[in-house]
Chains A and B, each alone.
Chain A
């Protein structure tokens, strides 16, 4: 469906018909954003920027340095250094007037409309935006829990875990085995585990060419599979073995002390084990009582929680429909939420929700691939409209251009998030 003037005028009229709340009775309306990643930082920045000071925005994020999950695989592969994927919140505070609070949110009182922080502060809100990313499902990989993450890193929240995984790969004995326990659907960044395998293979090919990579995967199929498999064959022939559910990839346990992976009863000794467990919405969503199952259901029109209209949820934590859980998706959803929040709190114009996503992955030097789609909101979900994907057999110039495009995108989206 194309957007047109008649449609968005309709949407505007509907918004104006609803009375807009103002600031719990005093001063400027208040928005609290929890989580400073692709969803939260973008939402905070767009609300502050576009409301031109009319809305008081507080961003709650525990980390002073934010490491993007996207491009963290490129750090493992040696294509980026860690500082190049680290970002601070200084510009959001100084240029956009956002109150950046480095603390953990530990409680949400939906009746009083307030957030309690670990440090004791209580923040009232007119609208709350939750963009907490993911947490892991306890017990999804038997033998693994957070206490095992030093021996068997997940590296699926970027930063120290990513550094640890890279250091472990560098310490592998010659001819050693790198194992990955891949996650079941749905999970953050569908091509992420397979881009990671590509980057590990790239590193091992140079440093440890007799090493092996073993993927234990509960899924029949995965994102951009034909493209990855073609690339693995071309660049890393024989190094990577994937065990899917037909061969027991869905029946796996680990022993972090013994460094073993047991696949369908057969015990494998490995040197590095990257366990990426099943995922669920960041814990604060559970604490707020806005989850159903593992995720927070939202309306695609506004990204409002289906369980509390004063709360918007963004990104990986949501159950929204067809969009993959990605930084690009979260950034796209943040702009729809920012528009809806401004409309509700200041009466600004509201337009039909419109989303897009592109996921670039790097297979080897200058061998980039991408998949993307556009989306619109229906009453049921965020629905895919159109899409594209790289093709197998593309020439080297196109793959190089795709990689260079991803580097340009990284500069663009991080500037869009952090100012």
Chain B
């Protein structure tokens, strides 16, 4: 099944890297431990990078590595337009504690909006995802990413999943990818009635949705306060002046204009709270949520300082 790797040196890669052709694919293994794959679609070459910490590749012989990679090459086979961004989805060092939807989408390599519909089509018949919902014929999937196999109390799991739970195996993204692409191949004896995804992007989209739907609920508007580390920031007015350009594409400083609400002359704490509430989704409005989620404490403090000083 696994073609014999034909090892060769590849001049554009650091010394010590190995490269080989696997069928149509040129696979490159730099000595740093990351594994890259370049594959061809028509006349275009696409890159696909698995960001794996170097330590996790310790002990892999080249052949083992090829076996490991073959799992992924199987995924890549129906793919045309997968980009490097999706490659980042392979990260095993994902910060599962993040509540930032952008960060989640980047980590999972998918689109939560597409994932909603795909979840309905593929999963919802057997799985619920609401936080307190009972399990249907399959276990509730709220918070499944990152938890232990067999992690829903009292759910009658198959022996295969019980064994995984006993071994302490986690449903990290890597394991979920393998399972969802080929359930029986990854976990013989699973009772999940699903043949696996044909298109890995569908799986990335669904996992993005599951992660997003597993977030803690947005705080109530009015309950958000400025955390001490933000309060301690000295807002840089010059930086705020530059960043304000994004705000002024919509908001108006002219009090006569019937535009969006004016945002100059605000108390700096009120200004920070408003941005935090958009960032944490306590306030609705997609453009403002997007704007606020791209702002760190330094940016929020700078904007509050700049607008606060305007008449």
Given known A358-B287, A411-B258, contact A416–B248 (CB-CB < 8 A): yes
The answer to whether A416 touches B257 (Cβ under 8 A) is no
* Nearest A-chain residue to B105, judged by Cβ: A386
- Residue of B236, B239, B258, B289 near A388 (CB, 8 A) is B289
B219 within 8 A of A: no
B299 within 8 A of A: yes
Instruction: List 20 additional A-B contacts (Cβ < 8 Å) besides A5-B236, A405-B285, A415-B259.
Output: A332-B245, A335-B245, A335-B246, A339-B242, A349-B238, A351-B239, A351-B242, A354-B246, A372-B286, A373-B290, A374-B290, A374-B291, A388-B289, A389-B113, A391-B113, A405-B287, A408-B259, A409-B259, A409-B260, A412-B248
Alpha-carbon separation in the docked complex, A372 to B287 (Å): 7
**Shortest beta-carbon distance, B149 to chain A, in Å?**
32
**Shortest beta-carbon distance, B227 to chain A, in Å?**
16
* Nearest A-chain residue to B298, judged by Cβ: A5
Contacts of A4 in B (CB 8 A): 296, 298
Alpha-carbon separation in the docked complex, A331 to B249 (Å): 7
Alpha-carbon separation in the docked complex, A2 to B298 (Å): 10
B253 within 8 A of A: yes
The answer to whether B294 touches A413 (Cβ under 8 A) is no
Alpha-carbon separation in the docked complex, A410 to B258 (Å): 10
The answer to whether B260 touches A408 (Cβ under 8 A) is yes
What is the 8 Å Cβ interface bit string for chain B, positions 243-281, against chain A (1 contact, 0 not)?
101101111111001111000000000000000000000
Alpha-carbon separation in the docked complex, A105 to B282 (Å): 50
A50 within 8 A of B: yes
Contacts of B286 in A (CB 8 A): 370, 372, 388
Alpha-carbon separation in the docked complex, A417 to B154 (Å): 62
Alpha-carbon separation in the docked complex, A331 to B251 (Å): 13
Contacts of A370 in B (CB 8 A): 286-287
**Shortest beta-carbon distance, B297 to chain A, in Å?**
9
A79 within 8 A of B: no
A71 within 8 A of B: no
Contacts of A348 in B (CB 8 A): 238
A194 within 8 A of B: no
Contacts of B190 in A (CB 8 A): none
B241 within 8 A of A: yes
Contacts of B259 in A (CB 8 A): 408-412, 415
**Shortest beta-carbon distance, B260 to chain A, in Å?**
4
Interface residues of B (CB under 8 A from A): 101-102, 105, 113, 236, 238-239, 241-243, 245-246, 248-254, 257-260, 285-287, 289-291, 293-296, 298-299
Given known A412-B252, A415-B254, contact A388–B242 (CB-CB < 8 A): no
Contacts of B254 in A (CB 8 A): 415
**Shortest beta-carbon distance, A84 to chain B, in Å?**
11
Alpha-carbon separation in the docked complex, A389 to B290 (Å): 11
**Shortest beta-carbon distance, A69 to chain B, in Å?**
16
What is the 8 Å Cβ interface bit string for chain A, positions 333-363, against chain B (1 contact, 0 not)?
0010001000000001101001010100000
The answer to whether B239 touches A411 (Cβ under 8 A) is no
The residues in A between 365 and 382 inclusive whose CB is less than 8 angstroms from any CB of B are 370, 372-374
The answer to whether B294 touches A415 (Cβ under 8 A) is no
Alpha-carbon separation in the docked complex, A358 to B287 (Å): 8
Contacts of A391 in B (CB 8 A): 113
- Residue of B242, B258, B289, B299 near A408 (CB, 8 A) is B258
**Shortest beta-carbon distance, B133 to chain A, in Å?**
23
* Nearest B-chain residue to A388, judged by Cβ: B286
Contacts of B243 in A (CB 8 A): 351, 354
The answer to whether A412 touches B241 (Cβ under 8 A) is no
The answer to whether A2 touches B257 (Cβ under 8 A) is no
* Nearest B-chain residue to A413, judged by Cβ: B249
Alpha-carbon separation in the docked complex, A3 to B291 (Å): 13
**Shortest beta-carbon distance, A342 to chain B, in Å?**
10
Alpha-carbon separation in the docked complex, A86 to B260 (Å): 20
Alpha-carbon separation in the docked complex, A374 to B291 (Å): 7
The answer to whether B298 touches A405 (Cβ under 8 A) is no
* Nearest B-chain residue to A387, judged by Cβ: B290
Contacts of B285 in A (CB 8 A): 405
A236 within 8 A of B: no
The answer to whether A415 touches B253 (Cβ under 8 A) is yes
Contacts of B295 in A (CB 8 A): 2-3
* Nearest B-chain residue to A356, judged by Cβ: B246
The answer to whether A415 touches B252 (Cβ under 8 A) is yes
Given known A46-B245, A405-B260, contact A2–B296 (CB-CB < 8 A): yes
A75 within 8 A of B: no
Alpha-carbon separation in the docked complex, A168 to B102 (Å): 46
A66 within 8 A of B: no
Contacts of A351 in B (CB 8 A): 239, 242-243
